[in-house]
């Protein structure tokens, strides 16, 4: 019976024949990815609405802050607390490594695993994120949406056993489709995938990602209409003399973004020290968020209503300033304590409030020079968001498409550039996502060496210096055979040739000196071989397995089930091969 891998390769071969060449096949699958992901995002948004209705008896996103503002005090405390308890238990019992997943995991998959992701973890992350947003956690829905898109596209490519290049391109299609569907911004979806995930702008990659993003936009507009997320008055910049003010605002956004990102990790470290089970931390965080919401209910959920009001100049200075601090605290507590969700919507919220505060301040100091403070609200929103995401191009495009306003192009470019560069200088990282990966020990700058180790298999370093004996062979016979051939390792097999155990020379001599050794068999003296490795495994995987098992050697087999021995992999040989691959990756 053919294996799953063989079935996948057969399907791909037939598809290539049917479509004529691989690139046409890639374009066809980009359409499929756009359709699948956009419907997945529709389902995710409906799931968020379901949790929101269960928690607050309303599934409206546009007027969510108004709904929660009339809730009783105990309701505002109870909803995020119970939501945190559900999310904590779900992540603890059902998610890999007992943590949520998001955009950093997509970046890691692209850098180290050829775009391969665990689609089951993706669906789990979607459920946890929907529950977090719906019950009031101060998190965004865009990060989870992007993770859903990447997971669904990875599931398709994994099932069909596509090549690494093919898989990465389709992963970019999934990301672009998710951004396009989540925000209704097809152009920004393309550039977000290219800027954050793929890292290149070649035409061969660009075309399928564009197709996927457009298909996704068509589907999402069929469900929710052709409307931007925020309806904003058409603001203008009154004078180019304001350019220095844009530079100053960019620096303010850089400072706010840096404090915001750092505060999340400070809360995360503090939460890890709490003397409570891991699954209880989000519930404690939810209670704290509920306490903040008693004074400022606008901070609950994605916060689109308050952001929209700030863009329309409908919020006073004192409230704008308070919401910067309140949202920053609520999001830091939510993400730091273990809620699932994204950071983009909170960045838009905090940036909009920051820009509003800055605009009103400037209007008091320079009333005859500064533009209306709504224009600075737009600039603050894009400044903080681009600094946090580390994706200035796609963030600018997202803002242009979200607000349907391109009259402030120069101002946006100056603010975004200053904010992004300033943040990178302050925190020393390219983005929040890179910072999160570094805290897990994942360094994206080392991808050259890692790629070389992933691309090289152990086939070239497998040793044939071994002998095979039946596990029923006597210890005396085994020792005599060992003396004649002097192998590095003796492997014991059953009557079907299936590997059962191994026996090193030191163990053989130790047992033959014991009383009663004449009645012992090789199986009695050997050690069971619970861990084996396949001949096509990469150097990276082999090194991780040997480190985990603290093994000096591993039997190499052709199949996990059949366990027919092909050779032996020694640790010293593996280390030499890894060193050579690392040098090649640096070159």
Q: Cα separation of 573 and 255, whole Å?
A: 50
What global pTM score does this model have? 0.75
Given this model, what pLDDT does residue 2 score?
A: 47
CB atoms within 10 A of CB 18: 10
341 in helix, strand or coil?
coil
Q: Which CATH homologous superfamily contains domain 240-276+292-443? A: Clc chloride channel (1.10.3080.10)
Given this model, what pLDDT does residue 196 score?
A: 75
Asked whether the predicted pLDDT for residue 259 surpasses 80, the reply is: yes
Collect all residues with Cβ–Cβ distance below 8 Å to 442 and sequence separation of at least 6.
104, 108, 111, 112
Query: Rounded to 5 degrees, what are φ and ψ at 199?
Result: 80, 15
| Percent with pLDDT over 70 in the chain | 86
Which span out of 1-15, 183-197, 199-213, 286-300 was modeled with the highest average pLDDT? 286-300
Asked whether the predicted pLDDT for residue 318 surpasses 70, the reply is: yes
Write down the architecture of domain 4-229 according to CATH: Orthogonal Bundle (1.10)
Average pLDDT over residues 216-243: 80
List, for residues 39-53, the tens digit of each pLDDT value: 999 999 999 999 999
498 in helix, strand or coil?
coil
Can you tell me which residue has the tokens 């499929």?
32
- Comparing 79 with 510, the larger pLDDT belongs to 79
Residue 317's pLDDT band, with cuts at 50, 70 and 90, is: very high
- Comparing 506 with 524, the larger pLDDT belongs to 524
- Comparing 196 with 194, the larger pLDDT belongs to 194
- Comparing 586 with 213, the larger pLDDT belongs to 213
**Residue 501 bridge partners (DSSP):** 492, 528
Supply 354's token pair: 């920051």
Q: Which CATH homologous superfamily contains domain 452-586? A: CBS-domain (3.10.580.10)
List, for residues 539-563, the tens digit of each pLDDT value: 777 887 787 777 888 888 877 667 8
Which span out of 178-187, 437-446, 519-528 was modeled with the highest average pLDDT? 178-187
Contact 79, 290 (CB under 8 A): yes
Given this model, what pLDDT does residue 132 score?
A: 95
Asked whether the predicted pLDDT for residue 57 surpasses 50, the reply is: yes
Given this model, what pLDDT does residue 452 score?
A: 59
Can you tell me which residue has the tokens 């040989």?
573
Nearest to 343 by CA among 264, 442, 226, 459: 264
Q: Work out the mean pLDDT of the chain and round it to a whole number.
A: 83
List, for residues 158-172, the tens digit of each pLDDT value: 777 777 777 888 888
Q: Cα separation of 261 and 265, whole Å?
A: 7
Which range, of 87-101, 428-442, 516-530, 567-581, averages the lowest pLDDT? 516-530
Contact 112, 447 (CB under 8 A): yes
Contact 115, 322 (CB under 8 A): no
Given this model, what pLDDT does residue 519 score?
A: 67
Domain 452-586 in the same topology as domain 240-276+292-443: no
Given this model, what pLDDT does residue 161 score?
A: 72
Q: What would the DSSP string read from start to end of 379-412?
A: HHHHHHHHHHHT-HHHHHHHHHHHHT--TTHHHH
How is the chain split into domains, by residue range? 4-229, 240-276+292-443, 452-586
- What separation in angstroms does the CA of 289 have from each of 60, 239, 300, 388, 543? 20, 42, 8, 22, 43
List, for residues 341-399, the tens digit of each pLDDT value: 999 999 999 999 999 999 999 989 888 777 788 889 999 999 999 999 988 888 888 77
* Residues 310, 316, 317, 323, CA torsion sign: negative
Query: Rounded to 5 degrees, what are φ and ψ at 534?
Result: -80, 155
Residue 1's pLDDT band, with cuts at 50, 70 and 90, is: very low
Query: Rounded to 5 degrees, what are φ and ψ at 266?
Result: -65, -45
């Amino acid at each position: 019976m053919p294996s799953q891998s063989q079935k996948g390769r057969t399907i791909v071969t037939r598809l290539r024949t049917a479509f004529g060449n691989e690139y046409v096949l890639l374009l066809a699958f980009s359409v499929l990815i756009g359709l699948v992901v956009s419907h997945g995002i529709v389902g995710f948004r409906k799931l968020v609405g379901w949790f929101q209705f269960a928690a607050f008896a309303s599934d409206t996103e546009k007027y969510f802050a108004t709904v929660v503002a009339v809730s009783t005090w105990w309701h505002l405390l109870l909803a995020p607390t119970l939501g945190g308890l559900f999310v904590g238990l779900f992540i603890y019992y059902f998610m890999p490594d007992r943590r949520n997943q998001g955009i950093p995991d997509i970046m890691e998959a692209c850098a180290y695993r050829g775009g391969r992701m665990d689609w089951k973890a993706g669906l789990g992350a979607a459920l946890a994120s929907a529950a977090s947003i719906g019950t009031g956690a101060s998190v965004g829905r865009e990060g989870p949406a992007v993770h859903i898109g990447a997971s669904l596209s990875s599931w398709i490519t994994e099932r069909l056993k596509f090549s690494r290049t093919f898989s990465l391109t389709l992963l970019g299609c999934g990301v672009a489709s998710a951004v396009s569907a989540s925000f209704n911004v097809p152009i920004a979806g393309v550039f977000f995938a290219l800027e954050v995930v793929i890292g290149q702008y070649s035409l061969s990659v660009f075309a399928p990602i564009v197709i996927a993003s457009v298909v996704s936009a068509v589907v999402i507009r069929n469900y929710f209409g052709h409307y931007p997320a925020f309806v904003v008055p058409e603001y203008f910049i009154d004078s180019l003399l304001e350019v220095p003010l844009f530079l100053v605002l960019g620096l303010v956004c850089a400072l706010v973004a840096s404090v915001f990102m750092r505060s999340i990790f400070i809360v995360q470290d503090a939460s890890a020290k709490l003397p409570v089970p891991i699954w209880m931390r989000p519930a404690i965080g939810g209670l704290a968020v509920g306490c903040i919401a008693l004074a400022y209910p606008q901070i609950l959920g994605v916060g689109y209503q308050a952001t929209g009001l700030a863009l329309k100049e409908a919020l006073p200075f004192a409230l704008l300033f308070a919401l910067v601090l309140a949202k920053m605290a609520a999001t830091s507590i939510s993400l730091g304590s273990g809620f699932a969700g994204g950071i983009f919507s909170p960045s838009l919220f905090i940036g909009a409030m920051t820009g509003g505060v800055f605009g009103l301040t400037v209007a008091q100091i320079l009333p005859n020079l500064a533009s209306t403070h709504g224009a600075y609200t737009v600039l603050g929103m894009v400044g903080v968001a681009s600094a946090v995401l580390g994706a200035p191009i796609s963030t600018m495009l997202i803002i242009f498409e979200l607000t349907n306003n391109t009259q402030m192009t120069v101002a946006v470019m100056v603010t975004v550039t200053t904010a992004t560069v300033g943040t990178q200088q302050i925190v020393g990282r390219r983005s929040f996502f890179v910072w999160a990966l570094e805290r897990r020990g994942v360094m994206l700058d080392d991808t050259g060496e890692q790629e070389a180790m992933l691309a090289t298999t152990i086939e070239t370093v497998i040793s044939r210096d071994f002998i095979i004996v039946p596990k029923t062979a006597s210890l005396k016979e085994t020792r005599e055979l060992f003396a004649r051939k002097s192998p590095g390792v003796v492997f014991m097999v059953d009557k079907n040739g299936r590997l059962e155990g191994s026996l090193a020379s030191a163990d053989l001599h130790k047992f033959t000196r014991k009383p009663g050794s004449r009645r012992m068999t090789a199986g009695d003296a050997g050690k069971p071989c619970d861990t084996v490795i396949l001949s096509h495994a990469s150097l990276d995987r082999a090194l991780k397995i040997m480190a985990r098992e603290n093994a000096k050697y591993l039997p190499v087999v052709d199949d996990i089930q059949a366990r027919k021995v092909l050779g032996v992999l020694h640790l010293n040989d593996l280390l030499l091969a890894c060193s050579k691959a690392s040098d090649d990756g640096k070159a």
